Amino acid sequence: MSWRDRLTWAKEESQTLKKASFRGATFFVRNSDRSVGRRNVVHQYPFRDDPYVEDLGQDTDDFTISGYVVQNIDNDQDYINERDSLIDALRESGSGTLIHPYYGELVVNLVGKARITESFLDGGIAHFSMPFVKASGSIVVGEIRKNVLPKTIIDHQQAVDNTAEIALGQSKDGFAEIYDVTNMASSTQSSITRAVDSLNSMLKSVTSSIQGAFPSQISKALTYLAEEYAEIDVAKIKQTCEFSNSIIGMFNGLLGIGGMYGELLTDQLLGACSRSLYGYFSGPMSEAKPLAVKVPGGFAASTIEKASQFDELIGKTSVKSLLEMNSFGEAPDSSLVSDYGGTITEISITSNKSAIQAANLVAVVNMARVSAILIATRMAVRVKYTSYESAIEMMNDVVKELDALLLKLGNDSADESYDAYNITVSDPISYSAVESLRPIFVESMKEIGASLPRILSFLIPPATVSTLALAYDQYYDLDRERDVIERNIPLIKHPGFLPGGRTVEILNS
């Protein structure tokens, strides 16, 4: 196939009809220019030879097409109607479809003015020079294609909170679709109890590993975990709604460290099955009943409805600790076992009884993992990141575990081990819930990072330089010395003597 065979034409019934078109108005193409690139901004600084190039993303593709309409046999030697049709198309509002011989079908906007050239010397032809820019985010209203502004998330915390709350409610529905209390043998009860024990042990280790939190915060979080864990007995295990809420409740101590007290308090006042009762989601939680109000104490009694941001150290270690919960439920001999434990012995499916037992454990594991990942996303958008790189690194860590959880849920749905017993561990409800959170979280984190300074590599000169002098030279702000030191531990051993010839990290603003 030659390059000519790969061209795209609006009409190609014959050689003379091979034309391009814009909004259906056809024309011949003489030549076409295209510009592509990225929106790079070059920053130059006094007494520094090397500039810093800031990449703000992909630039818009634009085209300049030189075309013409000409008298010929097909238009009875009269090009005027074709010329006027193309002029009308160029005058229309909004985006339009361009059939481009080299780039196929594109949605574009005319930029500025098209130029039309006609002369008596070259009679019977009109030359067009048309500058276009590639459009995106357009919608069709009636018969007109209009551009829409890109959606910007104004309140990142609220956007992620709302989506996570809906996802949590839907995941409880998914849990109830799998979790079977009608045929629960004593062996199944025992395996679930051991799974809860393993979850409790892992959560204690994860909570204790958080850096930057006050000892009193860790202590209160562990106390709340112990209280939730102590209330899970055989009777509660046999209640689908109450048990799913107990699994979620075991994570409330971590919610408290993240400053999300209002959520915790609301759950306690309205009862364990409050979302089912108040219509936040619908599903098989038919046994939902109000509980006696448990008046919270200490940090749980706070009436804060919206958590503020918290420091980068405690925030990032909290999120990373929660992401470890994505390994909860792995078999003891699995390569994916976390350093924090949380293993569950795998059940061999050899009978209907063992199939029910294994399916119930799958439901428990997935409910715990979903709870952890939802809290991790809510915490991640509350961290006071110091740089763009830090925010994007956190985003990538969370997205990696979101994708791993989606993969597990997908693999569960494909598990044929239960088919012979008419049992399924497929949970499309939870899959859809987690999947819907992913783009909201990614967009929020990108917008958070976009407003933050970038990290630069700075070569320390051979002469002796102090961190105080470096802070003043780069920022004209002596208070920035602490940031330089903390960002380069352990390389900087003494603030008065930076290691000459070595490279340190500093922020570009």
37 conformational bin, left if phi > 0, alpha if psi -120 to 50, beta if neither? left
Provide long-range contacts, Cβ within 8 A and 24+ apart, for 458-465: 458/503, 458/504, 458/505, 458/506, 459/501, 459/502, 459/503, 460/498, 460/499, 460/500, 460/501, 460/502, 460/503, 460/504, 461/500, 462/500, 462/501, 463/500, 464/497, 464/498, 464/500, 465/498, 465/500
Confidence of residue 262 (pLDDT cuts 50, 70, 90): very low
Residue 301 has a pLDDT of 38
Rounded-to-integer distance, Cα 336 and Cα 326, Å:
9
Residue of 490 and 178 predicted with greater confidence: 178
Instruction: Go through 192-215 and write b for each residue having 16 or more CB atoms within 10 A of its CB, e for each that does not.
Output: beebbebbbebbbbbbeebeebee
pLDDT, tens digit (0-9, with 9 covering 90-100), for 243-252: 888 898 888 8
Residue of 462 and 186 predicted with greater confidence: 186
Average model confidence (pLDDT) across the chain: 80
Q: Which amino acid is at 1?
A: M
Q: Which SS3 state, helix, strand or coil, does residue 292 take?
A: coil
C-beta atoms surrounding 251 within 10 Å: 25
Q: Which amino acid is at 505?
A: E
Q: Of 156-165, 227-236, 251-260, 284-293, which gets the smallest average pLDDT?
A: 284-293
End-to-end CA distance of the chain: 53
Q: Which two tokens stand for residue 325?
A: 């919960």
pLDDT, tens digit (0-9, with 9 covering 90-100), for 118-157: 998 888 899 999 999 987 654 444 445 555 555 555 678 8
Q: Which helix (DSSP H) or strand (DSSP E) does residue 62 occupy?
A: strand 62-70
Rounded-to-integer distance, Cα 188 and Cα 357, Å:
5
Cis peptide bond prior to 462, omega within 30° of 0: no
Rounded-to-integer distance, Cα 160 and Cα 374, Å:
9
Residue 325 has a pLDDT of 92
Rounded-to-integer distance, Cα 502 and Cα 184, Å:
65
Q: Which helix (DSSP H) or strand (DSSP E) does residue 378 occupy?
A: helix 352-380
Q: Which two tokens stand for residue 421?
A: 């017993």
Rounded-to-integer distance, Cα 135 and Cα 138, Å:
7
Q: Are 130 and 100 in contact (CB under 8 A)?
A: no
Confidence of residue 497 (pLDDT cuts 50, 70, 90): confident
Residue 61 has a pLDDT of 84
Q: CA 3 → CA 6, 7, 372, distances in Å? A: 5, 7, 54
Q: Which helix (DSSP H) or strand (DSSP E) does residue 189 occupy?
A: helix 186-208
Pick from 202, 188, 191, 179: nearest CA to 369: 202
Residue 151 has a pLDDT of 53
Rounded-to-integer distance, Cα 402 and Cα 375, Å:
12
Q: Which SS3 state, helix, strand or coil, does residue 121 take?
A: coil
Domain ranges in the chain?
Answer: 15-134, 156-278+297-451, 455-507
pLDDT, tens digit (0-9, with 9 covering 90-100), for 406-431: 999 989 888 888 888 898 888 888 89
Average pLDDT for 208-228: 85
What does residue 503 show for φ and ψ, rounded to 5 degrees? -105, 130
Rounded-to-integer distance, Cα 85 and Cα 22, Å:
10
Q: How many helices (H) and strands (E) does the chain have?
A: 15, 13
CATH assignment of 15-134, among 3.40.50.720, 2.40.30.200, 1.10.3720.10, 3.60.15.10 = 2.40.30.200
Average pLDDT for 401-405: 93
Q: Which SS3 state, helix, strand or coil, does residue 351 take?
A: coil
Rounded-to-integer distance, Cα 374 and Cα 391, Å:
17
In this prediction the pTM is 0.62
- Bridge partners (DSSP) listed for residue 110: 132
